[in-house]
Amino acid sequence: MSQSGVKNMMILKNLPSNIVEEAIIILKNNNKVKQNEKIESNKIDKESKKTENDYILKEAEMLVSNYIKRLEEKKKEKNEVQNKIKTKCKKMKKTIIVMSVIILIETIILLIK
């Protein structure tokens, strides 16, 4: 099966909502994005606020945006943890170098005596 015929899809289940049970998101083709653009929730048309079905749409949008926020927060936390690990590794390398130099000096001193 060729990859070109398959769409990028994402299914969200077990959402914290009374109305939406499951959300299916179809992603656009992989295009090069110059800048990340965030969609503002307050840019909704005034006419669309009047319908009852719009309530469901708004809740679905809110659930998807919350899901994306959680993904971004997890990514930030992961990067923070990786940065902490890198700094600890650098400190450990420095202490190991200092300790090895001290041990080398002590062995030389002991061999001379």
CA distances from 43 to 2, 6, 35 (A): 38, 32, 19
Q: Is the pLDDT of residue 30 over 90?
A: no
To the question of pTM greater than 0.85 for the whole model, the response is no
pLDDT digits over 8-23, tens only? Answer: 777 778 777 777 777 7
Output the pLDDT for position 4.
Answer: 56
pLDDT above 90: percentage of residues in the chain: 35
- Number of other CB atoms surrounding residue 10 within 10 Å: 11
Residue with tokens 């650098």: 90
Q: What is the DSSP letter of 23?
A: E
